[in-house]
Amino acid sequence: MLRQVADGVLVHESEFIQSKSVIVQGGAGVLLIDPGITRNELAGLADDVRELGQPVAAGFATHPDWDHVLWHEAFGDAPRYGTARCAASIRDVLATADWQERVAGVLPPEFADEIPMELFGLVTGLPAEAAHIPWDGPTVRIIEHRAHAQGHAALLIEEHRVLVAGDMLSDILMPFLDLDAVDPVADYLAALQLFESVADDVDAVIPGHGSVGGAEQLRARIKQDLAYVEALRDGGVPDDPRVGPSAPLEWLPDVHNRQLQRLAQKAQNGTPE
């Protein structure tokens, strides 16, 4: 079932951590962002697009995590884009002989048998200097950064004032840093500054997981995520309900503790926090 967020912008929510698939209507078809998650959900999403009376004109993966590079044959052979770094990252995964086993190892067990691998990760990288998605539709600005994952991009649908945030700005998940990066804290803070710089142009934010928010919620989430990352940097205890006793998912405190430990190890090894 699709929910309209703005004129020409619709979302579908998956059972898996409230994952959001985003549809943007254009002149000759729709732009499909981060479609997921299970075969049945993807097939249903294809049916929803057909009911709109438009084909899939293009796809976009906000970053190379497994749940953002899925596809279904019913979407057709439209080009599937990502940033150059995103495409290179997932291409490296697919180049390994045991990539299916590696991906299977990170899938949630309760959904693993339902997640299609046939068209997994077939993302075409846009030129490094690309500022917009090439398609016949509303201007979609690419806001690339280094937080959370290599080649991550948020998308600003300028005409409709909607920010598609990828795996950031969630109301149910605290920031997940790219702990393999040289300076994951600085990368995340820089991305939040980018979001702050476009906040005046946004009426709705769509996170990869969680609830769609309005302009006030966007600013509140930026502030909350900033406080969390700064607490991680300083080795403190964040005042954040997403990692406390009432965390919306029971495994989030474990992720928080792991992030805290890894950052402490980086500091001990003389690398940036």
CA distance 180 to 152: 14
Q: pLDDT tens digits for 31-79?
A: 999 999 999 999 999 999 999 999 999 999 999 999 999 999 999 999 9
Query: Hey, what domains does the chain have and what are their CATH numbers?
Result: 2-268 (3.60.15.10)
Q: Measure the CA–CA gap between 195 and 202, rounded to whole angstroms.
A: 10
Kindly state the percentage of the chain with pLDDT values over 70. Answer: 99
Please report which confidence band the pLDDT of residue 106 belongs to, taking 50, 70 and 90 as the band edges: very high
d(CA 27, CA 23): 13
- pLDDT for res 266: 87
Reported pTM: 0.95
pLDDT of residue 267: 85
Query: Percentage of residues in the chain with pLDDT exceeding 90?
Result: 93
* Beta strand 56-60 pairing with 80-82: parallel
Residue 120, pLDDT > 70, answer yes
Residue 23, preceding bond cis, omega within 30 degrees? Answer: no
Q: How confident is the model at residue 118 (pLDDT cuts 50, 70, 90)?
A: very high
> Which of the four pLDDT bands, split at 50, 70 and 90, describes residue 1?
confident
| Average pLDDT across the chain, whole number | 95
Mean pLDDT of all residues in 220-226: 98
| pLDDT on residue 269 | 81
Q: What are 124-169's pLDDT values in tens digits?
A: 999 998 999 999 999 999 999 999 999 999 999 999 999 999 999 9
pLDDT at 247: 92
